[in-house]
């Protein structure tokens, strides 16, 4: 079996959000179980793919290259050239083109490389950006009669539309192109019209397995793709990208903290972080335009985003993308109330904005002017080490998402022993056991998404509870222990085993040849 993954983000090439962690880490864990995994991702101009290409193709007079990064686990194939070198991973106005061109180059690559091969193939695409790739390789498989199976791994459902014209013009997936799907081998237009033009529905008709990242999120996908697709859906949990052992090691080696498990040390660490260390923490930017914008805004308002707080206090941490999905705007609305309930509270927000998010960046930076004693905003990518510092020092990590297929942030936080206050949606509802209901195993609180009062009440309940932990309150210390334990339950080994089982299950199936 040859398993080949496609993803727009890999933490080794370019990371915007949680997606970047999953394909490489899942792939690595599967390799440990004996499977060979190859991973394809666009270059986003991080890598000059045409310097030492393993494949080159010219399309409409533009040169596209594939370079191989053999030192990575799994092996990465980085696809570059033209729109694939757009530095923004998700460039506004060009994203569909980028996704289709990714498919086109990969199609050309496999058309050349797979001549006469008789192996079993698993083509495993992550999120909708990889759907054109799956379609292109589906068409190639029909053409070359390859023994291939297709898996779509949904980290976030989007309901994006694609036109037949775009599919044909850029990815050479034209009306008469034959693909295989639920109705057997048929012209693409047959499946396209059945899908209503929604790219994820098109995929649902033409893949063998739809995998998502939490049990609860399957419901969202059923709504997105249709109830009749439930039988081909399953979930594979993501894993915690962090373990308590790694946290301890990091805090000891890089930050000189003795006994990170001691609650008094944790409190002292928080106080120092807020009143001193914070000023040494910086951010990096994933897009130059964004960096320029953020810097001009900060200069205009004469702000130092990492300035120290005048005093310490209960700390809430938020980290993630600024997209509407993440619901950070709810917290902007809730700031008055949060500070009202606890004037000493400190909220540290770290986000990695894209060009889509400039208005939201402005709103957050302006909020710092209103809440100078309570709010700091890190308007770019925090290093992993620094993120761990904030997780560790916080009373709670706040995850106010509108929807959240999985919620890696919850696991990262819990791995540092910090509970989460999260919207009761998607994977968060799977991961987070509410301390108000699960006295023994509680790892946070859940609130109704978008309900500001519930968000504030739940979060501040948790913050207050954990504040007592700094004085040694048993309940709070038990919650920290439950968090670490719960995070460990989500590991890549289990996810890899389940994924391999799913591969084997679909390889056993036979397919109708003709429609």
Cβ density class 354-375: b for 16+ within 10 Å, e for less: bebbbebbbebbebbeebeebb
Min dist CB 343 to other proteins, Å, is 5
Look-up of token digits 């699960």: 438
Q: Which is nearer to other proteins, 97 or 342 (CB)?
A: 342
Q: Which is nearer to other proteins, 196 or 372 (CB)?
A: 372
Instruction: At 485, list the tokens.
Output: 């334990």
Q: Which is nearer to other proteins, 36 or 370 (CB)?
A: 370
Q: Which is nearer to other proteins, 301 or 511 (CB)?
A: 301
Q: Where do contacts with other proteins occur on this chain (CB under 8 A)?
A: 300-302, 335-337, 339-340, 343-344, 366-367, 369-371, 373-374
Min dist CB 446 to other proteins, Å, is 23
Min dist CB 345 to other proteins, Å, is 10
**Contact (CB, 8 A) for 7 and 473:** no
Residues 6+ apart with CB under 8 A from 422: 398, 399, 400, 401, 404, 407, 410, 428, 432, 444, 445, 446, 447
DSSP single-letter state for residue 395: S
Min dist CB 110 to other proteins, Å, is 53
Q: Which is nearer to other proteins, 176 or 302 (CB)?
A: 302
> Residue 452: is it exposed, middle or buried by C-beta count within 10 angstroms (0-12/13-18/19+)?
middle
Min dist CB 45 to other proteins, Å, is 33
Q: Which is nearer to other proteins, 210 or 335 (CB)?
A: 335
Min dist CB 312 to other proteins, Å, is 12
Q: Which is nearer to other proteins, 340 or 511 (CB)?
A: 340
| Strand ranges, E, within 43-188 | 53-59, 62-69, 75-80, 120-126, 147-154, 178-181, 184-187
Min dist CB 370 to other proteins, Å, is 4
Nearest to 148 by CA among 509, 501, 496, 514: 509
Q: How many CA atoms, within 13 angstroms, populate the side-chain half-sphere of residue 89?
A: 20
The whole-angstrom separation of Cα 43 and Cα 47 is 6
Q: Which is nearer to other proteins, 400 or 407 (CB)?
A: 400
Residues 6+ apart with CB under 8 A from 232: 204, 207, 208, 209, 210
Min dist CB 347 to other proteins, Å, is 12
The whole-angstrom separation of Cα 304 and Cα 291 is 15
């Amino acid at each position: 079996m040859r398993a080949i993954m496609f993803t727009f983000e890999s933490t080794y090439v370019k990371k915007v959000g949680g997606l970047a962690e999953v394909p490489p880490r899942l792939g690595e864990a599967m390799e440990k179980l004996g499977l060979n995994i190859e991973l394809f991702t666009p270059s986003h101009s991080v890598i000059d793919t045409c310097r030492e290409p393993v494949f080159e193709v010219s399309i409409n007079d533009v040169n596209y290259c594939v370079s191989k990064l053999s030192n990575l686990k799994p092996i990465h194939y980085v696809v570059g050239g033209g729109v694939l070198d757009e530095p923004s991973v998700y460039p506004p106005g060009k994203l569909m083109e980028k996704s289709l061109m990714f498919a086109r180059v990969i199609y050309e690559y496999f058309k050349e490389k797979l001549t006469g091969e008789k192996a079993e193939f698993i083509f495993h695409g992550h999120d909708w950006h990889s759907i054109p790739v799956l379609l292109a390789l589906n068409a190639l498989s029909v053409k070359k009669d390859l023994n291939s199976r297709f898996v779509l791994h949904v980290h976030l459902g989007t309901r994006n539309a694609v036109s037949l014209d775009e599919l044909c013009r850029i990815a050479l997936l034209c009306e008469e192109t034959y693909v295989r799907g639920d109705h057997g081998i048929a012209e693409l237009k047959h499946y396209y019209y059945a899908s209503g033009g929604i790219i994820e529905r098109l995929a649902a008709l033409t893949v063998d397995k739809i995998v998502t990242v939490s049990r609860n999120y399957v419901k969202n996908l059923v709504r997105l793709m249709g109830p009749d697709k439930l039988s081909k859906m399953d979930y594979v949990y993501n894993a915690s990208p962090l373990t308590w052992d790694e946290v301890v090691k990091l805090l000891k080696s890089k930050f000189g903290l003795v006994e990170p498990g001691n609650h008094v040390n944790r409190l002292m660490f928080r106080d120092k972080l807020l009143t001193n260390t914070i000023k040494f923490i910086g951010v990096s930017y994933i897009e130059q335009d964004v960096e320029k914008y953020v810097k001009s805004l900060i200069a205009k308002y004469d702000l130092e985003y990492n300035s120290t707080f005048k005093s310490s206090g209960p700390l809430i941490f938020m980290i993630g993308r600024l997209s509407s999905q993440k619901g950070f705007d709810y917290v902007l609305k809730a700031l008055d109330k949060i500070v009202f309930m606890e004037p000493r509270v400190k909220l540290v927000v770290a986000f990695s904005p894209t060009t889509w998010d400039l208005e939201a960046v402005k709103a957050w930076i302006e909020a710092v002017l209103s809440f100078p004693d309570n709010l700091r905003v890190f308007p770019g990518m925090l290093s992993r080490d620094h993120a761990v510092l904030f997780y560790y020092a916080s009373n709670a990590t706040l995850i106010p998402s509108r929807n959240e297929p999985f919620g890696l942030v919850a696991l990262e936080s819990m791995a540092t022993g910090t509970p989460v206050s999260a919207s009761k949606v998607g994977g968060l509802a799977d991961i987070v056991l509410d301390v108000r209901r699960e006295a023994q195993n509680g790892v946070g609180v859940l609130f109704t998404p978008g309900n500001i009062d519930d968000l504030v009440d739940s979060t501040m309940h948790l913050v207050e509870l954990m504040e007592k932990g700094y004085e040694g309150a048993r309940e709070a210390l038990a919650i920290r222990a439950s968090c670490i334990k719960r995070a460990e339950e989500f590991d890549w080994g289990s996810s890899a085993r389940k994924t391999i089982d799913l591969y084997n299950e679909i390889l056993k199936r036979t397919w109708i040849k003709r429609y």
